[in-house]
Copies of this chain bind each other. A is one copy, B any other.
């Protein structure tokens, strides 16, 4: 097993779209894959048993949140996150970088790291590449991320400086890492600037790590800019390593990402939307609170195999929402996660069968992003 661990097998390509397998200590991930997010050591409103039933294989947890609460030491006492939150499958932790830059109250970046104040109690903390790796080693995920700076995407001078710092921090992370049962991914940054993205893709690829992440997208740039950046880095990244597009995203973003060579995605979207009563369908999002659903005797989606659609009508789900019952968030989360997991499975099968272009075009044509007009 040791030789197989973290091996990526590319089984098929169609254009830039890839189907593969990525072996981890907690199981082999079939790619493309979507990872639901368990920010605070739980995918919100869903038990691990329910999550497993959706077909989810890989999940993500957040280093920043778990470091602050309950603390990495308590998780380590449990033998790591897998045991703490009772997820037996593959798991990924981010580095904390993104949250330090987006959530913490005040922060000061220097060449060695970031000093920040907790968004919970205002206490002062400092993350460096070494600290982030040490925390992630205590958390014990299969895939861990290099500590990076996620800069605002449109400032060229800042992105140049920030990218150089992210590259230097990657070298620190590689040097700090001690656990052989964890795969460290480097992160490509560079904002919306093709030349920076090229430089970053080449640098990160040169580190010969088990996988490469693409960061700093889905943070304010346009969809066209995101697609352009993916197209810039795609030919420069190694074919024999998985590529992970961080924090993305919506169904259409996933399909567009696969078309541009991405293998792994994560996003809070399916569970966050569920808590706001919105569900994915192949025709677009629907808001189940909409009174049009009050007497609908069919499920969210007739063809969906999820627990929710196999059992409950839209009328029942809307009743739960109106009555402010917690079960609404649980049932819609289950559906939304299984929707994205299934979309990835179908995309994978299409790549393996050589029909991905038709599959992707068919999906994108049928799926409207005009969410607010759709019942």
Contact = CB atoms under 8 A, between A and B. Distances in A.
A105 to B, nearest CB: 18
Contact of A327 (B42, B320, B327): B42
Interface stretch (A43-51, A144-152, A189-197, A209-217): A43-51
A41 B311 contact: no
Contacts of A364: none
A320 to B, nearest CB: 6
Interface string A61-81: 000010001100010011000
Contacts of A70: 294, 315, 318-319, 322-323
Contact of A86 (B297, B311, B322): B311
A327 B78 contact: no
A325 interface: yes
A315 B86 contact: no
Interface in A301-327: 307, 311-313, 315-316, 318-320, 322-323, 325-327
Nearest to A70: B319
Interface string A9-30: 0000000000000000000000
A127 to B, nearest CB: 20
Contact of A78 (B42, B297, B329, B331): B297
Nearest to A295: B74
A49 B322 contact: no
A323 B69 contact: yes
Interface residues of A, number: 39
A86 B310 CA distance: 10
A47 B47 CA distance: 11
B319 A46 contact: no
A319 B69 contact: yes
A84 B325 CA distance: 15
Given A44-B326, A86-B316, 6 more contacts: A40-B325, A45-B327, A65-B323, A74-B315, A77-B295, A78-B316
13 contacts: A45-B327, A46-B327, A47-B307, A48-B311, A69-B319, A70-B322, A77-B297, A77-B315, A78-B297, A86-B311, A86-B312, A326-B329, A330-B330
Interface of A: 40-42, 44-50, 65, 69-70, 74, 77-78, 84-86, 294-295, 297, 307, 311-313, 315-316, 318-320, 322-323, 325-327, 329-331
